[in-house]
Every structure is written in C-alpha cells, then in structure tokens.
Amino acid sequence: MADFTQRPTVIPALSYREPMSAFTWLQSAFGFEPRMLITDAAGDLAHSEMAFEGGWIMVGSEWSANHRSPAGLDGKCTQSVHVQVSTDIDAHCARARAAGAEILAEPETQFYGDRTYRARDLEGHIWTFGQTVATVPPEDWDKETGLKTKIWE
C-alpha cells in the first residue's frame, strides 16, 4: 500500500473532461502507476493519484470554472508537465505514440545532455519527457548556445 505521508513536495494536478479515461490512458501511454482512485456514488472519478519513478501527478475532473482541461479551453494549455525518465526515451516515445499520443517533437538530444520529446495527451495537455544521456557542464552549453547559466547550490 502506498504511504501517502511520503508524497513528493510538488504534485501537478491535471483536470480532464473524461478523467477516468485519462487515468487509464496515462497508464498505457506514459507508464504512470495508479496509487489512489476515489470514485463517487455513480462510479465516476472524483480524485486520483499516479506515480512515475518517484514523481506523482493528480488526475481529476473539470471541477470549477478555473480548473479546466485544454479540451474545454479550445486546446489552450496553461502549463505543461515535464517528466524525467531513467529508461530508454525513444522506447517511451514509441509507447506513447502507439497509445495515441500526438508527438509534437520527436526525441532529440539537447545541448544540456538530455534527450527529450514532447507529446500532447488525449485532451490536449502537453507533456515533455527527458532522459539524461550525457553529462554536459553548464559552461560548455553556454559556449555552444550563447546563453548564460547560473546554478545555485
């Protein structure tokens, strides 16, 4: 049984028009694992929590005028979710594509050493997935890009 006193400090909460479908789809497409599912008297999803490699998300309904799915906002996203994976990012992308995710950016190695791809889920939320494939010091990526990076310890 999951220890709900040991959740991560930050847990993104996503609203869906069809939250039960999203709960199931996020398992098959992105590999999220169910941790909690609360249903109402009609069997509809009232609240859920899912995990992936130590990170968590909450999946729920459009429960107020300010908590909406991109599907309820003409496809507009107000945020995106980044997930850092430890397994083969290209295989993760293939799994997402096979489950029906719209791949917005194919896997590509970035200047900072992560290989990333971007996908849109079944209701329009945008997800970025990354896997560190090389250790690149910030001073090297600054030279390559012209950016100036500041790191806090």
Helix, strand, coil shares of the chain, percent, nearest 5, are 20, 35, 40
CATH code, residues 13-65+77-145: 3.10.180.10
Q: Where are the alpha helices (DSSP H) in 31-145?
A: 89-98, 138-145
User: Is residue 80 a contact partner of residue 125, using CB atoms and an 8 Å limit?
Assistant: yes
pLDDT digits (tens, 9 = 90+) for 79-95: 889 999 999 999 999 99
Measured from the Cβ of residue 63, the count of other Cβ atoms closer than 10 Å reads 12
Confidence class for position 1, pLDDT limits 50, 70, 90: low
- pLDDT given for residue 2 in this prediction: 59
pLDDT digits (tens, 9 = 90+) for 31-64: 999 999 999 999 999 899 999 999 999 999 988 8
User: Is residue 73 a contact partner of residue 53, using CB atoms and an 8 Å limit?
Assistant: no
The model's pTM is 0.88
What's the rounded mean pLDDT across residues 140-148?
A: 92
Q: Is 81 exposed, middle or buried (CB count within 10 Å of its CB: 0-12, 13-18, 19+)?
A: middle
